[in-house]
Structure 1
Amino acid sequence: MPDDLREALRQKALAEIALLDTPPEREFDALARMAQRVLGTSMASITLIDAERQWFKARCGPLAPQTARGPAFCAIVFETEARLTVEDASRDPRFSANPFVVGAPHIRFYAGVPVRARQADGSAVTIGTLCVLDEKPREPTQADLDVLMELACVAEALVEARAVALRAAANAEDRRLAVEGLERERRQLKQAERMADMGSWRHDLEQQKTMWSDGVFAIHELPIAAGVPNGEIMNYFPEPDRGVFLDAVMRTLETGEPFELDADFVTAKGNARRVRCSCEVELSQGKPVALIGLIQDITGRHTMEQDLLRMARTDDLTQLPNRAAFYRLLETHLGEAHTTGSDLAVLLIDLDGFKGVNDALGHAAGDEVLRRIADRLRSPYLQEACFAARLGGDEFAVLVPSTVARSELDRIVRRLLRDLHIVAEGGGRIASVSGTIGIAWAGEGPCDRETILRRADVALYEAKRTRKGTAQTYREASGQRLVG
């Protein structure tokens, strides 16, 4: 391995154990004293070598806390990763001019061995030395060197123990931060659930048990302490939505396709709600293990949407369906009639004398007349089967479905003509209105919405021309339009 790469590995290993510039530790100090005592030298040290210096983790004798790396004896052990013994440095040409030989601490004898740190892959990298030094020359015995090697093993064990403790502390800190992060996310999720009126759930397919978040308990109006009512969950969905939900779940299990649907819901306290449910399959090793999903209380949104829809389809003054709603329903019924071969009728109603009410009694009185007309069109004999609407101004319409026979319609029309006669009073003045009706049946030849409305309009104005306050029915015969 190139020297520069080896040096980089040594410096990386040294940085990872985070031992440089740490306070004295009794275990390292005791080891240095033991080496000094056993080998009988005046100095001993446990030395760490970084890029520019040698720093003593433990030292005995007249040694500075740190020195430059260049002239250091230990730097040679560090770089060669081999034991070094110098019996008399003053006579050794390699060291005779060394500043630590000619000056303090006046080294003559030196013996040092590598101290290594174990890496994650099991390899060992030199990070420093264990050495003994003396101001007097001496010739070490093999036993001295063996002791030094064994003490270096103890030093390595101390380094490893410290590295393990450091990693354990780092792992503990990581776990602490992870737990804090999870707890923070849990709180945020609970806040989001409360703000969105939402909760999450998980159904274990093997154990057939369901788990709820706090938000689901809130939607059900159940206490969390009571636990999930596993055997009663579907009871909160009334039919037919219960069956729709179960069918969707079965499709998800069979196909793996998720679903989302809106359903009616009744809480544990009997309160009606509207909820949005979602569901998907949770896989483990490619196999379904659970169903997971969300449930959200959308009652407020649903109510607002229904109110907006009702407003879009309702005449504000009379609270009857408006022209758009009538046209939409008429087209639907015409399509069904064409498919089934059944029949239906449209009644167009125009009020006679309504302008006179506005002129004589004012628009407020006119509005009241329109509301009274609407009340008459909501009478039970019409509501059982018919659909009444205000088309605009003093024009109304009634859709008569196929369930009403033509003979029955005659009776309804006679009753309706009587009900449409209204007398209004105000300021000592009296005005009256009546209704004229034009009737058209869809069965009178090919028919779409425009056609049946045009036919009813023809019958209406024929009735007005003949006698106001009466009804006429449009008939098609021999290519001619007839009313009667």
Structure 2
Amino acid sequence: MSDTQREALRQQALAEINLLDTPPEREFDALAKVAQRMLGTGMSSITLVAPERQWFKARCGPLAAETQRAQAFCPIVFETEEPLIVADTSLDPRFATSLFVTGAPHIRYYAGVPVRVRRADGDRVTVGTLCVLDEQPRDTTPVDLELLTELASVAEALIEARTLALCAAKTAEEHRMAVERLERERRQFKRAEGMADMGSYRYDIEKRSVAWSDGVFAIHELPVGDGKPTGDIMGALLEPDRTTFRTAVMRTLDTGEPFELEADLLTAKGNDRRVRCSCEIELAKGKPAALIGLIQDITEQHRLETRLRHQARTDDLTQLANRAEFHRLLDARLHEARAANGDVGVLLIDLDGFKGVNDALGHAAGDAVLRLVADRLRSSSYERWLPARLGGDEFAVVVPTDLGRADLDRMVRRLLHDLEIVMDGQGHIARVTGTIGIAWSSEALHDRERVLRHADAALYAAKRTRKGTAQTYQLTGPPRQVA
């Protein structure tokens, strides 16, 4: 297929999802904000690329609603359908003279990955990008790229869900009613959000009295009185946030510097809230007279961001950690082990006979096997293990740092037994076992890539010997047979 034909296919797919030039939507805005916060950049966007322009479905930072396509970064990801990383735009001849580099928003760093949609024929076509940008050059780690790719998959899921809802509205009355119900619930949510979800307070330093606006009473689920609450601002905050808030207030009184923080709050009706609090000093005749600030109910936003972070870090089928989250957890354990001169054990697990389950019993049975394996890895027998699904029929585990090699060998023998699964149906029987490769971080200098290579080498050594067994990597000599 020529470049012209591929471009026409992408533009057709973009038109089919009916997303270009639509109003802001909370889910997409929250996803862009999660990408910005998790990768620590000044800007982020979910971008759709039209023939002559690029348009932002969601954006964070000093980005216009849309820009011309020429000299922009996202169209390159759109056209190549591959990730693009530019550590320093001023050093890249493709972008050094771009209007977006030499002028506002002065982009010096860019990282973007494709956002694709699946068409009726099964072909996945790029319609835009998920990207993060910054005014300062920076390096991108493999974990950053993996995280950005996982967040792009969430964007794809949001687009797919939205597209399915629109299609359903056109094909059947039942679907139309479902879409209307979703839209009604969204309007109800927006109205509820607009009902005093923010309030102000003032603490008189000399009188030691506090006054609340009506909005603060609403957040605390208290009846609005004469502005005088029965308790102080900190009384409803939960620990450790109460201590953090008190410490910040004392620092503001000492230094005059304002602060802003998020905290958990328990309302008068016993309901949990997530709030954002700010505080600064009010001066009178050059002297501190009061502490003033705002309290905003961000419960729904916090829950949505938490849910999106969970989706970005979790394998949807098994609800185990996904590959990117496994790497993050392993890096943390390796850092702890390096600091404490300890040792971390890593297991790589490959299921034997899994393809036979799919071939003989169907993919639903294969999915059931994967969920069963996940349940067994989460069982109390393997308490404090950190299991993950890396993809397909591959799993991995980080074992507790205080688990010795002899104890791990004993538990691995039990795990091999737990991974023996027999599935039957439709007149067929399929058997699945697990083969395990084990490696220890001390023999890999606590380096993630090296310890995973060691575990992988032990895994395939075990497979060559006999499937359904386990071997431990050794620096010298062949891998040691465990069971």
Aligned counterparts, 1:319-398, within 5 A: 319-382=319-382, 384-398=383-397
Q: Which string of whole-angstrom CA distances, capped at 9 and with x for unpartnered residues, describes residues 47-96 of structure 1?
A: xxxxxxxxxxxxxxxxxxxxxxxxxxxxxxxxxxxxxxxxxxxxxxxxxx
Equivalent position SS for 1:425: strand
State the distance in 2 between where 1:267 and 1:431 align: 54
Q: Which string of whole-angstrom CA distances, capped at 9 and with x for unpartnered residues, describes residues 200-230 of structure 1?
A: 0011011111100000000000111386445
Q: How far 1:231 sits from its partner (Å)?
A: 3.9
State the distance in 2 between where 1:466 and 1:223 align: 73
Checking the alignment, whether the CA contact within 8 Å between 1:440 and 1:452 is kept in structure 2 is yes
Q: How far 1:248 sits from its partner (Å)?
A: 0.9
Q: Which string of whole-angstrom CA distances, capped at 9 and with x for unpartnered residues, describes residues 12-61 of structure 1?
A: xxxxxxxxxxxxxxxxxxxxxxxxxxxxxxxxxxxxxxxxxxxxxxxxxx
Q: Which string of whole-angstrom CA distances, capped at 9 and with x for unpartnered residues, describes residues 220-265 of structure 1?
A: 0011138644545423111111111111111111111111111111
Match of 1:431 in 2: 430
Q: Which string of whole-angstrom CA distances, capped at 9 and with x for unpartnered residues, describes residues 269-294 of structure 1?
A: 11011111011111111111100000
Q: How far 1:445 sits from its partner (Å)?
A: 4.6
Checking the alignment, whether the CA contact within 8 Å between 2:461 and 2:479 is kept in structure 1 is no
State the distance in 2 between where 1:351 and 1:339 align: 34
Counterpart residue type for residue 364 of structure 1:
A
State the distance in 2 between where 1:269 and 1:403 align: 43
Checking the alignment, whether the CA contact within 8 Å between 2:444 and 2:451 is kept in structure 1 is no
State the distance in 1 between where 2:376 and 2:192 align: 50
Provide the TM-score with structure 2 as the length reference: 0.58
Rate the CA distance shift 1:345–1:193 in 2: closer, same or farther, 3 A.
closer
Equivalent position SS for 2:413: helix
State the distance in 2 between where 1:193 and 1:282 align: 29
State the distance in 1 between where 2:479 and 2:394 align: 23
Aligned counterparts, 1:17-416, within 5 A: 194-195=194-195, 197-225=197-225, 228-231=228-231, 233-382=233-382, 384-416=383-415
Checking the alignment, whether the CA contact within 8 Å between 1:210 and 1:230 is kept in structure 2 is no
Checking the alignment, whether the CA contact within 8 Å between 2:199 and 2:216 is kept in structure 1 is yes
Checking the alignment, whether the CA contact within 8 Å between 1:385 and 1:404 is kept in structure 2 is no
State the distance in 1 between where 2:211 and 2:422 align: 66
Counterpart residue type for residue 398 of structure 2:
L
State the distance in 2 between where 1:418 and 1:266 align: 47
Counterpart residue type for residue 358 of structure 2:
N
Of structures 1 and 2, the larger Rg is shown by 1
Counterpart residue type for residue 204 of structure 1:
D
Checking the alignment, whether the CA contact within 8 Å between 1:462 and 1:483 is kept in structure 2 is no
State the distance in 1 between where 2:374 and 2:450 align: 26
Checking the alignment, whether the CA contact within 8 Å between 2:260 and 2:279 is kept in structure 1 is yes
State the distance in 2 between where 1:193 and 1:364 align: 41
Counterpart residue type for residue 411 of structure 1:
R
Match of 2:469 in 1: 470
Give the 4+ runs in structure 1 shifted more than 2 A: 191-196, 225-235, 480-484
Checking the alignment, whether the CA contact within 8 Å between 2:199 and 2:294 is kept in structure 1 is yes
Provide the TM-score with structure 1 as the length reference: 0.58
State the distance in 2 between where 1:192 and 1:376 align: 42
State the distance in 2 between where 1:427 and 1:367 align: 16
Checking the alignment, whether the CA contact within 8 Å between 2:444 and 2:450 is kept in structure 1 is no
Equivalent position SS for 1:207: coil
Counterpart residue type for residue 391 of structure 2:
G
CA RMSD of aligned residues (A): 1.8
Taking only the aligned residue pairs, the percentage that are identical comes to 66
State the distance in 2 between where 1:248 and 1:327 align: 34
Checking the alignment, whether the CA contact within 8 Å between 1:201 and 1:211 is kept in structure 2 is yes
Q: How far 1:193 sits from its partner (Å)?
A: 9.2
State the distance in 2 between where 1:300 and 1:193 align: 9
Rate the CA distance shift 1:235–1:459 in 2: closer, same or farther, 3 A.
same
State the distance in 1 between where 2:349 and 2:444 align: 23
Q: After the TM superposition, which of the residue ranges 303-312 and 243-252 deviates more from structure 2? A: 243-252
Q: How far 1:335 sits from its partner (Å)?
A: 1.1
Checking the alignment, whether the CA contact within 8 Å between 2:196 and 2:215 is kept in structure 1 is no
Match of 1:454 in 2: 453
Q: How far 1:410 sits from its partner (Å)?
A: 1.8
State the distance in 1 between where 2:199 and 2:227 align: 15
Q: How far 1:336 sits from its partner (Å)?
A: 1.3
Checking the alignment, whether the CA contact within 8 Å between 1:348 and 1:438 is kept in structure 2 is yes
Counterpart residue type for residue 205 of structure 1:
I
Match of 2:417 in 1: 418
State the distance in 1 between where 2:416 and 2:228 align: 60
State the distance in 2 between where 1:433 and 1:261 align: 50
Aligned length: 291
Equivalent position SS for 1:279: strand
Checking the alignment, whether the CA contact within 8 Å between 1:209 and 1:230 is kept in structure 2 is no
Counterpart residue type for residue 350 of structure 1:
D
Equivalent position SS for 1:458: helix
Match of 2:92 in 1: none
Give unmatched runs, 5+ long, in structure 1.
Answer: 1-190
